[in-house]
Amino acid sequence: MKLLKPGEEIDGFEIEACLHAGGMAHIYSVHFAQSANGMRREPEFSMAMKIPRMTAGDGAENIVSFEVEQQILPSLTGPHVPRFVAAGDLSRTSYLVMEYVKATTLETWAENFHKENFQTGLHDRAIARLGAELAHAIHSLHKQNVCHLDLKPANVLIRPNGKVVLLDFGLSCHAHYPDLLAEELRKAVGSPAWIAPEQVVGVRGDPRSDIFAIGVMLYELATGELPFGEPATTGGMRQRLWMDPAPPRKRNLNVPEWLQEVILKCLHPEAAKRYPSAAHLAMDLRNPEQILITERGRQLKGTGFKEHFKRWIKAAGMHYQASPLASRQIKEVPILMVALPHADVSDATWYSLREAVDRSLGIRPGARLACVTVISPSDTSSIESDKSESSVHRMHLARMQQWSQALDLHDHQISFHVLEASDVANALVTYAQGNEVSMIIMGAATHGLQMQRFVATVPIKVAMEAPCTVILVKQDVPFEFLGTLNDE
């Protein structure tokens, strides 16, 4: 399709200017055209029109991927995707009109980031913040049954407030729609530098493929290099089925161990050994100090030749299972949150909460647990040293850790969080929302449920406003244990 000039009209949209002439499509800024009666509709937000190039020389995939995007974009909602406005009839004029998000691409962001930071030491917290926002955005897609499958810096927008918007759903996969890009020959569909190993062998629709792509981007941010380069052949892409990339710390010693741990976990060749959901990843990136660092995080040398050779043999026969609905898959690995009271708490309460958490984790392998306690801002003081913020927080963290000792954790990840807020219910609900928590477990009595008759109590407020299930635990403790459980 030839370039359109400003003022030209398509189906009631008037071209303003060409924003981008890419290999696949032209992007224009547009506004509503004047209607017959001379009126012009004012849009609620700036709009962009995407028109595929689709000239005779372009491959069929270009056209199909445009059709895929045209199917998927209108189905998506939320702040992490551009809002859909209109789509053209594919057999006549193909186009998509969507919200024009004024933001920087991760590509540009990363360039500036590297310019500023490689001299002054690495700002790993900035990487973690961005990574958490990115993971949060991806999780919102997965909840809507869509896997992006073409995540790369050019498709990630960062708003001035740090929030992430995802673009380009041309290679995405919607679990409720026939996948037009799947085919019997199962060839690799994706961008060579960021594509996950299972995508290389033609498996589409696993949310953990997107986790892999986040890993590649974090690697790039941390080291300035791509973990697997930009292979031009299928053979080159297949490398990632068996090869571990060089540890980020080998390329840049300023990368902290926890960040390497996270990145290499995202980049695991086997999807099942990566983070099970983007929400889990976001939680780690928001709490770096609580990441359990293993040999993977510490290593400076890469995986040896012998190990790689063994895996190369194994990869030759590698078989990836097609995955069930994305939303169902991430529901199986929820984040549970337990609200632990911090004052006036009886042994029975601690005991009952632990019982409830144990039961809830027991039937959900792969779930992770966030232990949260809310303290009043007046509990800390910047003047008195024994009430300094860090010492008060440390005290509460230690209490929660002590509580968790007797939990049956197996392979459940656990983390501890002290929130300072005067409105306890609001703090808990906000935390649950921000961290994609699927279930809140809290004590009924300790938070004053019996006072509900007179005032709106914390448990009821949480139950009413929480974005998820809330379990209110009542005390139940065997008599002989009383007084022996919590010797404080």
Partner 1 sequence: MAHAKAQGIDRWALLGDLVGYGGNPQEVVDTAMRLADEGAWVIQGNHDALAVKPPVDDQSLGNSTAQWTHDQLGVSQRGFLKALPLIALSGPLLMVHASAHVPERWHYVDTERAADLCADHALQAYDARHVVVGHVHQQTVYYRGTGHSMMRFEPTAGAPVPMPAHRRWIATVGSVGQPRDHQPDAMYAIYDETAGRMTFHRVSYDHQAAAAAIREAGLPEFFAERLALGK
Q: Are strands 368-375 and 335-339 parallel, antiparallel or unpaired?
A: parallel
**Of 185, 232, 343, 363, which one interacts with partner 1 (CB under 8 A)?**
185
Cβ proximity of 444 and 472 under 8 Å? yes
Strand partners, 58: none
* Backbone Cα Rg of the chain: 25
CA–CA separation, 71 vs 76, rounded Å? 10
Q: How far apart are CA 337 and CA 357, in angstroms?
A: 9
**From 2, 5, 121, 184, residue interacting with partner 1 (rule: CB under 8 A):** 184
The rounded distance, in Å, linking the Cα atoms of 106 and 97 is 22
* Amino acid, res. 466: A
Q: Tell how strand 156-158 and strand 164-166 pair up.
A: antiparallel
Q: Does 183 bind partner 1 (CB under 8 A)?
A: yes
Instruction: Give which of 66, 7, 55, 54 is closest to 34, Cα–Cα.
Output: 7
97 contacts 51 by C-beta, under 8 angstroms = no
CB of 179 to partner 1, least distance (A): 7
User: Of 52 and 297, which has the nearer Cβ to partner 1?
Assistant: 52
Binding mask 388-427 for partner 1 (x = CB under 8 A): ----------------------------------------
Determine the interface stretch with partner 1 among 163-171, 174-182, 411-419, 438-446 (rule: CB under 8 A).
174-182
Q: How far is the CB of 8 from partner 1 (least distance, A)?
A: 25
- The rounded distance, in Å, linking the Cα atoms of 33 and 14 is 5
The answer to the question of residue 86 lying near partner 1 (CB under 8 A) is no
Q: Write down the least CB distance from residue 345 to partner 1, Å.
A: 45
The residues, any chain, with a CB within 8 Å of residue 358's CB and separated by 6 or more, are 407, 408
Q: How far is the CB of 64 from partner 1 (least distance, A)?
A: 5
Please check whether residue 333 is in contact with residue 283, taking contact to mean a CB–CB distance below 8 angstroms.
Answer: no
**Would you count residue 318 as binding partner 1 (CB under 8 A)?**
no
What is the per-residue binding string for partner 1 in 44-83, x denoting contact by CB under 8 A?
----------------xx--x--x---x------------
CA–CA gap between residue 32 and residue 40 (Å, rounded) = 6
Residue 28 CB, nearest approach to partner 1 (Å): 24
Output 38 or 178, the one with its CB closest to partner 1: 178
278 closest CA partner among 391, 137, 433: 137
Q: How far is the CB of 61 from partner 1 (least distance, A)?
A: 6
CB atoms within 10 A of CB 481: 11
- Please report, as residue ranges, which positions from 322 to 341 form the binding site for partner 1 (by CB under 8 A): 325
Kindly indicate which of the ranges 183-191, 236-244, 336-344, 381-389 contains the residues binding partner 1, using the contact rule CB under 8 A.
183-191
- Dihedral (CA of 449, 451, 456, 457) sign: negative
**177 near partner 1, judged by CB under 8 A:** yes
Between residues 61 and 347, which has the closer beta carbon with respect to partner 1?
61
Region from 182-190, 334-342, 417-425, 465-473 binding partner 1, contact rule CB under 8 A: 182-190
Closest contact distance (angstroms) between CB of 325 and partner 1 is 7
Q: How do 335-339 and 437-443 pair as beta strands?
A: parallel
Q: Of residues 15, 134, 164, 181, which one binds partner 1 by CB under 8 A?
A: 181
Among 41, 102, 125, 176, interactor with partner 1 by CB under 8 A: 176
Q: Please report whether residue 317 would count as binding partner 1 according to CB under 8 A.
A: no
- Count of residues in contact with partner 1, rule CB under 8 A: 19
Residue 390 CB burial class (10 angstroms; 0-12, 13-18, ≥19): exposed
Instruction: Output 202 or 434, the one with its CB closest to partner 1.
Output: 202
- Strand-pairing partners, residue 15, are 30
Give the span between the Cα atoms of 302 and 304, in whole angstroms: 6
CA distances from 362 to 279, 336, 359, 412, 472 (A): 20, 12, 5, 9, 18
Contact 439, 473 (CB under 8 A): no
Euclidean distance between CA atoms 70 and 74, whole angstroms: 7
234 within 8 A of 185, measured Cβ to Cβ: no
Does residue 179 belong to the site contacting partner 1 (CB under 8 A)? yes
CB of 318 to partner 1, least distance (A): 22
Provide the minimum distance between the beta carbon of 473 and partner 1 in the complex, in angstroms, as a whole number: 35
User: Least CB distance from residue 94 to partner 1, whole Å?
Assistant: 11
Contacts with partner 1, 212-241, as mask; x by CB under 8 A: ------------------------------
Among 4, 182, 318, 333, binds partner 1 (CB under 8 A): 182
**Tokens at 383, concatenated:** 């003047």
Binding of partner 1 by 272 (CB under 8 A): no
Query: Looking at beta carbons only, is 71 or 426 nearer to partner 1?
Result: 71
Q: Which residues bind partner 1 (CB under 8 A)?
A: 60-61, 64, 67, 71, 90-91, 175-185, 325
